[in-house]
Amino acid sequence: MQAARYAVDLIQDGMVVGLGTGSTTRYALEALSEKIKGGALKNVVGIPSSERTAKIAKNLKIPLSDFSQFKNADISIDGADEVDAHLNLIKGGGGALLREKILAQASIRFVIIIDESKYSDILGRKWPVPVEVLPFAEPLERAFLESLGAKVVLRHTKKNEVYRTDQNNYIFDCAFGRIADAEALAQALAARSGIMEHGLFINLATDVVVATEEGIRHLQKDGDQN
């Protein structure tokens, strides 16, 4: 994927790199592996956002570490389910939203790679908001989310088993429709003890790299576009 290669080109020697989760990020992992193997990047170490990503990275011979060794990441590269004009995001389609947000908050630069179908005028128009919930609190948080107007669906695997995150929690996919105030909704969700994390990433992305039919658009938080 062109956007993934563009994002990987932002990585420099000696960097600690946060590794996102999902099908789009897989392209970035492969591009990063090629540059490491070819000698174009040296002394790079990755911090994976999920057990799945860690397994892929190990198979691709990407050196890995964690936050016991490093207190931040120089750059993280990840995908998103939906992105608005303010570079706010809906993430969590791959089920790793909690660790992805920890990485995002610990990253000096948080780079999102998408194709133009993920770009939206307002969050919630194209994608539900994933909400990671403690199983103990499942009925309480379902009722709370429904009280906010969401259509709530408990995520299941392809085998029709309840999906479990790496933290062994549940995920509700919550269709709110067009979200008029994403920041206020994020604050309401964060205030609930039974909600471990939510998929609204507000003011976290520094860069969004969009693959379009005309080529790459590089959107930055300060308003610059390339």
Catalytic residue among 30, 51, 82, 100: 100
**End-to-end C-alpha distance for the chain, whole angstroms:** 18
Q: Is 138 a catalytic residue?
A: no
Instruction: Give the integer Cα–Cα distance in Å for 220 and 138.
Output: 37
Question: Per the structure block, which two tokens stand in for 148?
Answer: 């906010």
- Give the CA dihedral 49, 54, 56, 57, nearest 10 degrees: 100
Contact between residue 43 and residue 14 where contact means Cβ atoms under 8 Å apart: yes
Instruction: Give the integer Cα–Cα distance in Å for 146 and 143.
Output: 5
Can you give 149-217 as a three-state secondary structure string? CCEEEECECCCCCECCCCCCCEEEEEECCCCCCHHHHHHHHHCCCCEEEECEECCCCCEEEEEECCEEE
So which residues are the catalytic ones? 100
